[in-house]
Amino acid sequence: MKKILAVVGVISALLLTGCSQVGAAATIGDTKITQATVQASVDAILAARKGVDTSQMQIETGEALNRAQLRFHLITQLLREVGKELTITVTKAEIDTRRQSILTQVGGEASLPNALVGAGIAPNDLDQYIEAITYSDKITQAITASGVAQDQVSAEIQKLVVAKAKELGVTVNPRYGTWDAENADLVAADAASSAATPATK
């Protein structure tokens, strides 16, 4: 369930700046990810946690949870755009099939809420999560089929995603943090500032 985290690591050169559109958490080209969309994911995760024992889980809260959910929506859209360029599609049938596979892996429908809470995925975002990892897998397959060595696949995916992000233009609302290009992550603004300006002794 954590495979999407691997995708985060390939977007190291993305540059996200302040977003000027009111109500937007981020934009990718003409596509707007609204603050309401991000908040719906956050609210669904918080609601799901009420029915699960989270005492042994490492879960995100507050601003970190907001950033994680915006990151999820950003990555999904970027993978869709790269897939479009490579004429790769993900069908509802493929999503449904993979969903059944996930249900089997986690031990059935009754175990799904616990698995989703542990993975930080909102129940209403499961299909989108499956779509994202399916795009990732298909892009990987396409790159491998083109003759790229296995140890170079991640670097090639990075190039594709970065190029597509630059082509479309990506912005993020500062309330969600700042893009840390060094670590390929959406981080708190103060963390980015500290990284950019090392403390002097």
174 within a domain of the structure (yes/no): yes
199 within a domain of the structure (yes/no): no
- pLDDT value of residue 46: 96
Residues 114, 52 contacting (CB under 8 angstroms): yes
- pLDDT value of residue 186: 65
Distance, in Å, from the CA atom of 201 to the CA atom of 184, rounded to the nearest integer, reads 28
- Cα separations in angstroms, 109 against 2, 37, 104, 113, 138: 18, 25, 8, 8, 26
pLDDT of 112 higher than 50: yes
201 within a domain of the structure (yes/no): no
Pairing of strands 170-172, 17-18: parallel
Confidence band for 185, pLDDT divided at 50, 70 and 90: low
Our CA dihedral for 41, 28, 133, 158, rounded to 10 degrees, sits at -140
pLDDT of 183 higher than 70: no
Percentage, residues of the chain above pLDDT 70: 77
46 within a domain of the structure (yes/no): yes
Mean pLDDT over 2-16 rounds to: 43
What string of H, E and C letters represents the secondary structure of 21-65? CCCEEEEECCEEEEHHHHHHHHHHHHHHHCCCCCCCCCCCCHHHH
- 69 is in which domain, residue-wise? 4-194
Cα torsion 157, 163, 165, 168: sign: negative
Mean pLDDT over 21-35 rounds to: 84
Between 16 and 127, residue with greater pLDDT: 127
200 within a domain of the structure (yes/no): no
111 within a domain of the structure (yes/no): yes
Between 19 and 174, residue with greater pLDDT: 174
The model's pLDDT over 114-159, given as tens digits with 9 standing for 90+, comes to 999 999 999 999 999 999 999 999 999 999 999 999 899 988 887 8
pLDDT of 65 higher than 80: yes
- Cα separations in angstroms, 184 against 3, 5, 191, 196: 16, 11, 13, 14
26 within a domain of the structure (yes/no): yes
Distance, in Å, from the CA atom of 77 to the CA atom of 161, rounded to the nearest integer, reads 10
Residues 112, 106 contacting (CB under 8 angstroms): yes
CA-based nearest residue to 77, from 32, 116, 117: 32
- pLDDT value of residue 105: 93
Lowest mean pLDDT among 52-56, 72-76, 143-147, 192-196: 192-196
pTM of the model: 0.81
Residues 28, 14 contacting (CB under 8 angstroms): no
- Number of domains observed in the structure of the chain: 1
Helix 62-85 with 126-145: angle, nearest 10 deg: 40
